[in-house]
Homo-oligomer: A and B are copies of this chain.
Amino acid sequence: MTRGDSQGETALADALPALISVDWGTSSFRAYLSNASGHPLDVIPEGAGALALQQGEHEAYIAGRLEAWRARYPGLPVVASGMVGARQGWLEAPYVACPAGAAEIAAATVTAPGGVRILPGMSCLDARGAPDVMRGEETQIIGAGGDGIFVLPGTHSKWARVEGGRIVSFATYMTGEVFAVLKTHSVLGRMMTPAREGVGFSRGLEAARGLEHPGDLLHAAFMARTFGLFGTIEPDQLAEYLSGLLIGAEILAGARGDRQATVIGAPDLSARYAKAGAHLGVNMSPAAENCATLGQIEALKRLGVL
């Protein structure tokens, strides 16, 4: 085989759909017509979340959404991860327990009507025996590849440690939700005006670094009010202060002294975490955007489907 042939074959394989990859979360639906390398050839960017549909509606819904692709490329495997596999989703794929990797995820995959393979979520117990769970993030982490610390920032941020290609532990930090409820429903939001770029975020990160006792977080959060009362921080920086405080506290707790992590998430939020990490001495590099598809491919390979 000449070099030219090889390049030609690669180009051909890259252009060929190999699977339909569905990222089906609580309130979002995205589907990718993907080649064997996880590169999207076509995208359905939005749809109804797995928990936005009633029980019994999922089969017809996904069939409708994927109809054109399946008609054009019959026989492609369809794989979905996320809350679609929760008890209150389409078809339950019970959690696999940490430590676990692609092999354990593959083994716990369930097949829904229409041949849709639904990947399981993952559970773990922390050092004190407290349980934690995730659905969808485990697939993205496996897809990101490599060992180390992986962060999925958001409403309920996940911090996971991967060793030998398997997730050995993870923990949820409800950073985004705490920020949102404090901003919207507590006294802290009253003096906040719409946020703009400024010193608030780094002031919050500094406050996070200065926390001595865990309960100090309950004090430092209140500063989003007193800084406003005293004019120490401008009204349009108060939400940024609170965001920096909470994200900073999360990063320092999640990294647990490590100085390197991989961030999996939307570009804006990932950049915000990277900025916070840089300030706090934790280098946070972005993962590939198609982690979910890449993780699904790993599972399908273990199942012999790809």
Contact = CB atoms under 8 A, between A and B. Distances in A.
Interface residues of A, number: 50
Nearest to A159: B219
A213 B256 contact: yes
Nearest to A224: B174
Contact of A215 (B223, B226, B254): B254
Interface in A77-129: 128
A253 interface: yes
Given A181-B181, A186-B181, A221 B174 contact: yes
20 contacts: A130-B220, A130-B223, A130-B227, A174-B187, A174-B218, A175-B215, A175-B218, A178-B178, A178-B186, A178-B218, A178-B221, A181-B186, A211-B214, A213-B214, A213-B252, A214-B216, A214-B252, A215-B250, A218-B253, A219-B253
B182 A178 contact: yes
Interface string A172-189: 111101100110111110
Interface of A: 128, 130-133, 156, 171-175, 177-178, 181-182, 184-188, 207-208, 210-223, 226-227, 229-230, 232, 246, 248-254, 256
**At the interface, is chain A mostly helix, strand, loop or mixed?**
helix
Question: What are the 8 closest A-B residue pairs judged by CB atoms, nearest first?
Answer: A215-B253, A215-B249, A213-B253, A211-B214, A173-B218, A131-B230, A181-B185, A174-B222
